[in-house]
């Protein structure tokens, strides 16, 4: 199997489904998914949760981040250091303005915001399967980041997306990092990811 080609095909399939969601459906699904995430996380007071700013038609994280703040969580957002490098996370103060940055123009906290190590990471994605493997957008930022964080920290990783982005099986390469749970508007699904998050070998499904 040409894994790169298959990932490209599955990415296009899942993103096509996502793009076909109406605005009202997307808004309602984002609220329901936020409820599933809150229930799965349990008490969050004092924990640092790394969220993400939605890009294009990604699931809206605002209902979840608003609820997390009210519950006492500290929020952080990813910052792109450079292509080929892991992300860092900076504290996201509700009163602070965010600046669109990088080639993608995704809002980020400024350099004055403290860098933090999160307890929980919400992971964006293009497609996913029930084992917790995901297909991103091709730059590998989250695979590198999760691998680095897991070397010295105990973190909980939650894929956060719409149910229509699920595919039967993501082709897995040795560098791919799985998530601990997948959260959609349909359910909070616990995933049996390999120890350390990586597959350990290339699989061709």
* Residue 10, annotated as binding a ligand: yes
- Which bin fits 46, alpha (ψ -120 to 50), beta or left (φ > 0)? left
Are 73 and 47 in contact by the 8 Å Cβ rule? The answer is: yes
User: Is residue 108 marked as binding?
Assistant: no
Binding residue per annotation — 55?
no
- Is residue 140 a known part of a binding site? yes
Rounded-to-integer distance, Cα 97 and Cα 92, Å: 9
Asked whether residue 16 is marked as a ligand-binding residue, the answer is no
Place of tokens 């560098």: 175
Do the annotations mark residue 38 as ligand-binding? no
Residue 22, annotated ligand binder? no
Is 203 marked as a binding-site residue? Answer: no
CA 45, CA 14: separation in Å to the nearest integer? 34
Between CA 102 and CA 171 the distance in angstroms is 29
Q: Any binding-site annotation on 8?
A: yes
Secondary structure letter of residue 123 according to DSSP: E
Residue 116 three-state SS: strand
- Which residues carry a binding-site annotation for substrate? 58
- Which residues carry a binding-site annotation for ATP? 7-11, 134-142
- Which residues carry a binding-site annotation? 7-11, 58, 134-142
């Amino acid at each position: 199997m040409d894994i790169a080609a298959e990932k490209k095909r599955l990415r296009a399939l899942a993103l096509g489904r996502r793009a076909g969601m109406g605005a009202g459906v997307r808004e309602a699904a984002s609220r329901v998914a936020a409820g599933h995430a809150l229930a799965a996380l349990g008490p969050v007071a004092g924990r640092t949760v790394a969220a993400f700013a939605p890009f294009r038609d990604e699931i809206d994280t605002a209902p979840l981040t608003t609820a997390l703040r009210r519950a006492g969580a500290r929020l952080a957002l990813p910052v792109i250091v450079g292509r080929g490098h892991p992300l860092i996370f900076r504290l996201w103060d509700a009163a602070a303005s965010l600046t669109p940055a990088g080639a993608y123009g995704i809002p980020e906290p400024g350099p004055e915001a403290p860098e933090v190590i999160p307890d929980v990471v919400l992971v964006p994605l293009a497609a996913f399967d029930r084992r917790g493997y995901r297909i991103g957008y091709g730059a590998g930022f989250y695979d590198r980041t999760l691998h680095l964080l897991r070397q010295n920290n105990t973190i909980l990783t939650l894929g956060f997306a719409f149910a229509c982005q699920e595919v039967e099986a993501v082709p897995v390469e040795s560098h791919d990092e799985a998530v601990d749970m997948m959260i959609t508007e349909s359910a909070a699904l616990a995933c049996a990811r390999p120890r350390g998050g990586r597959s350990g070998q290339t699989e061709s499904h």
